């Protein structure tokens, strides 16, 4: 699997975000999936021992949205227009989890993606379906200053 790029301050993948999750995402072009293994610390709980639903949503948004970047370029970046989440069971903190994302319907201006978070035994704790679209030109103008930090970090 190939490691995808990280950013500087993204809450989920940012390397310099002191309160972020600092996750590393890997793409599997053959499977058409993006994956990440991670442990969410108790600091991000909603209820004791349970990951806050907003954190679950952020991870699902990131892993599913990154699926459009498999074998792609910066021009393939998209933003979430709509995301539907189904919380199937509590997602535990302090537990090794895996998130997986994939493209369900590719497109040049819009795409439909999906993702899920799994326990070590494969049980799905949460899943999402999202519609992505290319951001407006203003996004890419602001993105220019961030491009040097959008890279694979050691």
Cβ atoms 88, 53 nearer than 8 A: no
Superfamily, domain 24-136: Hotdog Thioesterase (3.10.129.10)
Is the pLDDT reported for residue 72 higher than 90? Answer: no
C-alpha–C-alpha distance, residues 154 and 75, integer Å: 24
Burial class (CB in 10 A: 0-12, 13-18, 19+), 32: middle
Question: SS3 letters for 13-72?
Answer: CCCCCCCCCCCCCEEECCCCEEEEEEECCHHHEEECCEECHHHHHHHHHHHHHHHHHCCC
For the chain, what are the domain ranges?
24-136
| Structure confidence at residue 139 (pLDDT) | 86
| Structure confidence at residue 26 (pLDDT) | 97
The pTM score is 0.95
Dihedral sign of CA atoms 9, 14, 18, 20 in order? positive
The closest of 70, 69, 81 to 129, measured between CA atoms, is: 81
| Structure confidence at residue 71 (pLDDT) | 85
Is the pLDDT reported for residue 142 higher than 90? Answer: no
């Amino acid at each position: 699997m190939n490691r995808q790029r990280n950013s500087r301050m993204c809450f989920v993948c940012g390397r310099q975000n002191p309160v972020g999750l600092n996750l590393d995402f890997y793409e599997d072009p053959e499977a058409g999936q993006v994956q990440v293994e991670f442990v969410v610390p108790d600091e991000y709980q909603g209820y004791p021992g349970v990951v806050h639903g907003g954190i679950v949503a952020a991870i699902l948004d990131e892993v599913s949205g990154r699926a459009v970047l498999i074998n792609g370029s910066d021009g393939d970046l998209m933003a979430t227009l709509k995301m539907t989440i189904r919380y199937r069971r509590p997602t535990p903190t302090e537990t090794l989890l895996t998130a997986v994302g994939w493209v369900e319907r590719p497109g040049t201006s819009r795409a439909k993606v999906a993702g899920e978070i799994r326990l070590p035994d494969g049980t799905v704790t949460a899943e999402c379906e999202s519609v992505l679209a290319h951001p407006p030109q203003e996004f890419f103008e602001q993105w220019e200053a961030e491009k040097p930090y959008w890279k694979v970090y050691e």
